[in-house]
Chains A and B, each alone.
Chain A
Amino acid sequence: METKRASVPRELRTGLRNYWYPVLTADQLPADAPVGVTRLGEELVAWRDADGVAHVFADRCAHRGVRLSIGDIVDGRLQCRYHGLQYDGTGQCRLVPIEQRDDGHHAQRLCVTSYPTEERAGLVWAYLGTSTNVPPLEMQPEMSDPDYVWIVWETTWNANWLLIHDNTCDPYHVPFLHGHFVTRVGPDGLEVEKLPDGNPIVTVEAFGVLVTEELEATATDTTVLVRRKTATDDHNQSFDEVQFTLPCLASVWVPVPDGGSAVRLHQYELPIDEHRTVVYSWAGRVAPEGDRAAMRSVLDEFFRPVTTQVFDDDSWITENQPDVEVAWTEEHLLPFDAGPPRVRKVIRDAFERQLCDSTAPTSLGDGAR
């Protein structure tokens, strides 16, 4: 049978650069200590200055390369643990202790790479790229809608980010892989019923939902929408669409069996490195005034545990796929795999556009001469 023999460019295995990414939750970044994280294969240090403003730098002192994340925050500056060099919020070195004064001759010559940083919607965001035209950070529309309440949390998966997106935009694994539990309204409200593990049996209902009404996938330069043809705007009827948005956002509506509105779930699924992925999930739901605390507790105490259970299944299965290069070379996509190839194409096209952009000035220059 025919398969696409697609090699995955090495740089792309650790993500698309030149985009805004959430790099940690605001709660994870204290006022008094730097935090080291790896994102897109790069070690980063996040820290807060004297005004509490967050900054994200490459996690490497300009002097001898020691991780700044093992250092300290002193007088609103980030201080290296090795020789005590201090950096301000722009990444400029302001003190080399041996010089015995601020802004000495050596300090002025040293700086670390800093990335544009913003704190919004409970997350610290960094623009991870080299482009000088930094676009504004844009949130998804519901996220600025005052009718919604939101929770946000982080999970880690042990697989390459591209395999995670394959999984996310593939609705057909849901009844089979996750079919071992069901959610419903019980006597005490929403509950999860575990079915026996092992030998999963696919009910006709489960597959009937997916077969009788086919899915279609439509793509733009930056998005892919996989949607049941008969889907309506009443998202609480069934799980019927998933949207991918560059660089790494997957969005779904998840029905909740309590009669309220569907939960909007936005997931940024970005590479830690070639073999691990971090996922920032926002779950939001329309909550009438006065009902917001109750709705938040539904999200926290019911929705998040259920989603975590689903993620555990997905993480386990993607860990059991080969490396992305082998997985994509040896796979046999079937007609119902409409989502994965389109999402891969949007990602790859974006990657190639960036390659062209970065070479364009040089070739123009050459041409002019």
Chain B
Amino acid sequence: MATTSPIEIPDELRVGLRHYWYPVLPSAELPTDRPIGIRRLDEELVLWRDAEGLAHTFVDRCAHRGARLSIGDVVDGRLQCRYHGLQYDGTGQCRLVPIEQAEDGRQAQRLCVNSYPTAEQDGAVWAYLGDVDVFPPGPVPAHDEHPELADSSYVWIVKALEWRANWLLVHDNTSDLFHFPFLHGHYGVHPAGAERPRLEQLPPRNPVISDEMAEVLAFDEYKTTATSTSVLSRRKGYSDGSTIDDVEFVVPCSAKVWVPVPIGGHPVRSIQYEMAQDDRTTYVLFFIGRGTDSEEEREPSRELLETFCWQAFSQVFDEDSWVVDNQGGLDRALRDEHPLKTDAGPLRVRKVILDTYRAQQARLAEQRGANGEGRAAAVETAG
């Protein structure tokens, strides 16, 4: 048994890595006529669309008395607070304090709410949750990190669900291929080769590991490699996506796998962003896609994703969520664990996340130092 000293997780990191673009909501879930309140990285946010349909992300708090803007309304392309009727435009600037009876009155000009850069891409609303001065955001990097998303031969669906566990435990689970046959082995996908696949439930208790599954568990066959921003665990005989045989993590929080489809043809690509809502819950947004060889294949593939694949995924994630919830919270899980040789994936992923966080802290400290020196110089000049 390996002995390890418990890993120390800084408080801030328990609720996610800031200064990244995050897909915070499927586009389809953000209507044009009302705001939506969400919590991501332990911050309450309000999403809404202006008159042009452009999405915006603000801190969910009116500048006046702090009421949640997400219980307000969208009026004339502005976000209106439900308490006193203050209206904000897409930049977060207050444009109307009704009591002033004029637009852009003196009080309105002095009020604004914090807004985050927002974009819409690949069927999701993306928000840059971070400090734009210290870490200036580029465009949404998803196409560089996940080239399939930009591949026009693919069809995609976007889905989301919530886990009752800390995001770091969720990533432990996702980057661990070895729980798969045991935890999820109680149902099979049958019949192989049929036109339409269906799920077959096996008895849920006392899972028995089949020979096929045992093969997956032969961990000597796997190799884990890491860069400063990603971790790839892959079977050495990796070939064509005919079994689940690799998983890749990319900072800040995406994991992707190939999932074979029992009727054959292109495997399914699942790219899942697993982000903290708060210390105890995780929001997972999925891009689920499949390559196609012709226009005619697109609709059947989309249907396969919407029905069979999402049903199977949801079942798998229910089980994962249940097990991770039963690790009893991040502190207990990390304090009491004894990682084995098969846990190389999770350990590497944690290290990449922790290293990224430390690099950010170093840069913030540097920035504060620079600002401090600037102020000192200014004081000296003034003196």
A and B co-occur in one complex: yes
Residue numbers of A with Cβ under 8 A of B are: 1, 166, 172-173, 176-177, 198-200, 202, 207, 210-211, 316-317, 320-322, 326-327, 330-337
Chain A contacts of B61 at CB under 8 A? 322, 330
The distance in angstroms between the C-alpha atoms of A202 and B110, with both chains bound, is: 22
Chain A residues positioned under 8 Å from B13 (CB to CB): none
B382 contacts partner chain A, Cβ-Cβ < 8 Å: no
Q: Is the CB of B84 within 8 A of A199?
A: no
Bound: A336/B85 CA distance, A: 14
A322 / chain B contacts, CB cutoff of 8 Å:
61, 66
Kindly state the separation between the CA atoms of A200 and B75 in the bound complex, as whole angstroms.
Answer: 9
Min CB distance A44 to B, Å, is 31
Q: Would you give the shortest CB distance from B74 to chain A, in whole angstroms?
A: 8
A200-B73, A321-B67, A322-B66 known; A334-B85 Cβ under 8 A: no
Are B73 and A335 interface neighbours, CB within 8 A? no
Interface status of B82 (Cβ within 8 A of chain A)? yes
A39, chain B: closest CB distance, angstroms: 26
Residues on B with C-beta less than 8 A from A172 are 84, 99
Q: What is the CA–CA distance of A177 and B73 in the complex, to the nearest angstrom?
A: 12
Q: B98 and A331: CB pair below 8 A?
A: no
Question: Are the CB atoms of B107 and A200 closer together than 8 Å?
Answer: no
Looking at the assembled complex, report how far the CB atom of B336 sits from the nearest CB atom of chain A, in whole angstroms.
33
Query: Considering the chains assembled together, what is the distance between the CA atoms of A258 and B63 in angstroms?
Result: 40
Contact B67 A320 (CB under 8 A): yes
Q: Are A199 and B73 in contact (CB under 8 A)?
A: yes
A43 to B196, CA, bound (A): 62
Scoring B65, B83, B111 by chain A CB atoms within 10 A of each residue's CB, the highest score goes to B65
A317 near B98 with CB under 8 A, answer no
B177: chain A residues at CB < 8 Å are: none
Contact of B66 among A1, A330, A334 (CB under 8 A): A330
Q: In the complex the two chains form, what is the Cα distance from A326 to B68 in whole Å?
A: 13
Which residues from chain A contact B110 at a C-beta distance below 8 Å?
A: 1, 332
Q: Which of A172, A332, A334, A337 has the most CB of B within 10 A?
A: A334
The residues of A that contact B84 with a CB separation of less than 8 Å are 172-173, 176-177
- Name the 7 nearest CB pairs between A and B, nearest first: A320-B68, A327-B66, A176-B85, A1-B110, A321-B66, A199-B73, A332-B63
> With A and B bound together, what is the CA distance between A202 and B101 in angstroms?
10
A172 to B71, CA, bound (A): 19
Kindly list chain B residues whose C-beta atoms are within 8 Å of the C-beta of A331.
Answer: 63-66
Q: CB-CB < 8 A to A333: which residues of B?
A: 64-65
Expressed in whole angstroms, the minimum distance between the Cβ of A268 and any Cβ of chain B is 23
Least CB distance from A281 to B in Å reads: 22
- Contacting B107 at CB < 8 Å: which of A177, A199, A334? A334
Is B97 close to A, CB under 8 A? yes
Chain A residues near B63: list those with CB within 8 A.
Answer: 331-332
A207 touches B99 (CB 8 A): yes
Cα A171 to Cα B64 with chains together (Å): 15
Q: Which B residues are in CB contact (< 8 Å) with A320?
A: 67-68, 71, 82
Q: Are A211 and B67 in contact (CB under 8 A)?
A: no
Verify B98–A176 contact, CB threshold 8 A: yes
Docked complex: B183-218 residues within 8 A CB-CB of A = none
A53 to B111: give the CA distance in the assembly, Å: 55
- With the chains together, A326 CA to B66 CA distance in Å? 8
Chain A min CB distance to B86 (Å) = 9
Let me know if A336 and B99 touch, CB within 8 A. Answer: yes
Decide: A317 near B83, CB < 8 A? Known: A330-B61, A332-B110. Answer: yes
9 A-B pairs (CB sep. < 8 Å)? A166-B65, A176-B85, A177-B84, A200-B82, A211-B99, A320-B71, A327-B65, A327-B66, A334-B99
| Inter-chain contact B65/A321, CB cutoff 8 Å | yes
Tell me which residues from 66 to 123 in chain B have a Cβ below 8 Å from any Cβ of chain A.
66-68, 71, 73, 75, 82-85, 97-99, 101, 107, 110-111
Are B66 and A200 interface neighbours, CB within 8 A? no
Q: Is the CB of A317 within 8 A of B67?
A: yes
- Contact check, A211 vs B101: say whether CB atoms are below 8 A apart: yes
Q: How far is the CA of A336 from the CA of B110 in the complex (A)?
A: 15
Please state if B83 and A173 are interface contacts (CB–CB under 8 Å).
yes
Q: With contacts A1-B111, A317-B71 known, what are 15 further pairs, Cβ within 8 A?
A: A173-B83, A176-B83, A177-B83, A199-B75, A200-B82, A200-B85, A316-B71, A322-B61, A326-B66, A330-B66, A331-B63, A331-B65, A331-B66, A332-B63, A334-B107
Beta-carbon contact of B67 and A210 below 8 Å: no
Residues of A within 8 A of B101 (CB): 207, 211
A206 to B, closest residue via Cβ = B98
- Among A200, A210, A321, point to the contact of B99 (Cβ < 8 A): A210
**Chain A residue with minimal CB distance to B68?**
A320
B residues less than 8 Å from A211 (CB atoms): 99, 101
- On chain B, the residues within 8 Å of A1 by CB distance are 110-111
**Least Cβ distance of A176 to chain B in Å?**
4
When distances are taken between beta carbons in the complex, the residues of chain A under 8 Å from B64 are 331-334
> In the complex, what distance in Å separates the CA atom of A177 from the CA atom of B67?
12
Assembled-state Cα–Cα distance A334/B94 (Å): 13
Per-residue CB proximity of B153-197 to A under 8 Å, as 1/0? 000000000000000000000000000000000000000000000
Q: Inside 8 A of A210's CB, which chain B residues have their CB?
A: 99
- In the assembled complex, which residues on chain A have CB atoms less than 8 Å from the CB atom of B68? 320-321
Please measure, in the bound complex, the distance between the C-alpha atom of A335 and the C-alpha atom of B83, giving whole angstroms.
16
Can you name the residue of chain A whose Cβ is closest to the Cβ of B85? A176
Query: Given the complex of chains A and B, what is the CA–CA distance between A236 and B83 in angstroms?
Result: 26
Please, how many angstroms separate the alpha-carbon atoms of A334 and B107 in the complex? 7
Residues of B within 8 A of A176 (CB): 83-85, 98
Tell me if B99 and A177 are in contact (CB < 8 A): no
Does the CB pair A198–B73 fall under 8 Å? yes
A88→B380 CA distance, assembly (Å):
73
Complex interface: chain B residues within 8 A of A198 (CB): 73
**B98/A207 in contact, CB under 8 A:** yes
- Residue of A176, A207, A326 most packed against chain B (CB within 10 A): A176
Question: In the complex the two chains form, what is the Cα distance from A176 to B87 in whole Å?
Answer: 13
- Complex Cα–Cα for A134 and B65 (A): 37
CA distance A166 to B67 in the complex (A): 12
Chain B min CB distance to A309 (Å): 15
- A317 and B70 CA atoms in complex are apart in Å by 11
A19–B107 Cα gap in the complex (Å)?
39
CA A326 – CA B60 in complex, angstroms?
A: 13
- Measured CA separation A199–B97 after assembly (Å): 16
Residues of A within 8 A of B97 (CB): 334
Contacts of A336 in B (CB 8 A): 99
Within 8 A of A (CB), among B304-336: none
